[in-house]
Amino acid sequence: MPPASHSRQHEPSSRRLRLVYDGECPMCRRYVRWQRIRTEVGKLELIDARRGSEARRELTDLGIDLDEGFALQVGERWYHGSEALHRLTLLGTRSGVFNRLMYRLFASPGRTAQFYPLLKRCRSGLLKMLGKGPIDNLDRK
């Protein structure tokens, strides 16, 4: 194993980075597969919102509806929906066509908030076409 580097710029952050997303949504799966986080930010843990996990339980306890959008944890703070997309974009690299496009679209919180309802409608329509039900982490009956 090579010795650890002592250069500050290459050490990953110790902040917790977790993204809870809909693993049944092809659009969501592709997004998380293509999104690249800058190495100095740290390693992003990807969590399927449809599977039981500590993160899903935490979000449910906080009253965060995962059918309304994915959730991003940075350190101790959770971001949801358009705010999560905006924050994730700022943590991303600018390399590659996909990441440059995401940055151009979602680096502005206002623009992200405008686009996010359309993205949610696309996700809902896609899930309906595929016969997938809601995540329903808040157990609305």
Taking only the tens place, the pLDDT of each residue in 110-123 is 999 999 999 999 99
Q: Write the CB contacts of 102 (distance below 8 Å, at least 6 apart in sequence).
A: 35, 89, 92
Q: What is the pLDDT of residue 15?
A: 76
Distances from the Cα of 136 to the Cαs of 50, 70, 115, 140, in angstroms?
9, 13, 23, 7
Domain ranges of the chain: 12-129
* pLDDT recorded at residue 39: 85
pLDDT at site 14: 59
pTM for the full model? 0.84
Residues of the chain with pLDDT under 70: 1-14, 140-141
Helical packing angle, 82-91 and 109-129, nearest 10° = 110
- The whole-number pLDDT of residue 4 equals 41
Return the SS3 of 20.
Answer: strand
